[in-house]
Amino acid sequence: MKLTTQLWSLGLLLAATACTPADTGTTAPPAASTDTAATAQVDYGIPIRYKNWEIGSPDNVKLVLNFYQHWDAGRANEVAGLCADTLRLRLPDSRNEIAVPNGRINEVLGKNRAGYGTTSNEIISAVSLRDKDSGEEWVYTTSYNKWVEKGGRRDSAIFDDNWRVKNGKIEFLMTYQKVPTKAFLQAKKDSANVF
């Protein structure tokens, strides 16, 4: 079934490419922008909670990168200053949301980090976004994480992390995990573009 779906998708992609007009070497002028067009809401036909985005503060990306740096340096017991009064976590291997009061963040994350010898987060992408409707600020990151557990077991994964930032502090993290494909790992080994 998967192969059939992949072949169907490939066929659609090829058909779309064949229908695309050839580049004539001329560039059309950009469409005129009006305030109404720039702020108009798109009706997608289904409810979407967050859909009215704008680029957010680069300081929020720096905040999240600082969290990763503390983790990789083995200083997860020093991140409470980066976090809000309560840090809420939705992790890939847990059905429950974890809520950690700020007074326990260093202890809880430090204990978790102590199970690893080394970790390395290679940030593939990071963007700060602000939802205009809710005013919420988010940082979306994709990272290639490698680690060695205290017992010597090595592993790696690709993580897509959604960080919500409020008043300059991390208050929420929802993370998704993907096993790296053989093609991704080979491209990393060959120092090629992995995407």
Domains of the chain as residue ranges with CATH: 53-189 (3.10.450.50)
Rounded CA-CA distance 138/31 in Å is 30
Total-model pTM: 0.76
Residue 89: strand pairing partners: 98, 173
pLDDT mean across residues, the chain: 84
Residue with tokens 């289904």: 46
Q: What confidence score (pLDDT) does residue 29 get?
A: 46
Sign of CA dihedral 173, 174, 179, 185: negative
> Per-residue pLDDT tens for 83-117?
999 999 999 989 999 999 999 999 999 999 999 99
> Per-residue pLDDT tens for 15-48?
333 344 444 444 444 454 444 445 567 889 999 9
Q: What confidence score (pLDDT) does residue 5 get?
A: 37
**Residues whose CB is less than 8 angstroms from the CB of residue 177 and which lie 6 or more positions away in sequence, other chains included:** 92, 93, 157, 158, 159
Q: What confidence score (pLDDT) does residue 8 get?
A: 37
**Residues whose CB is less than 8 angstroms from the CB of residue 4 and which lie 6 or more positions away in sequence, other chains included:** none
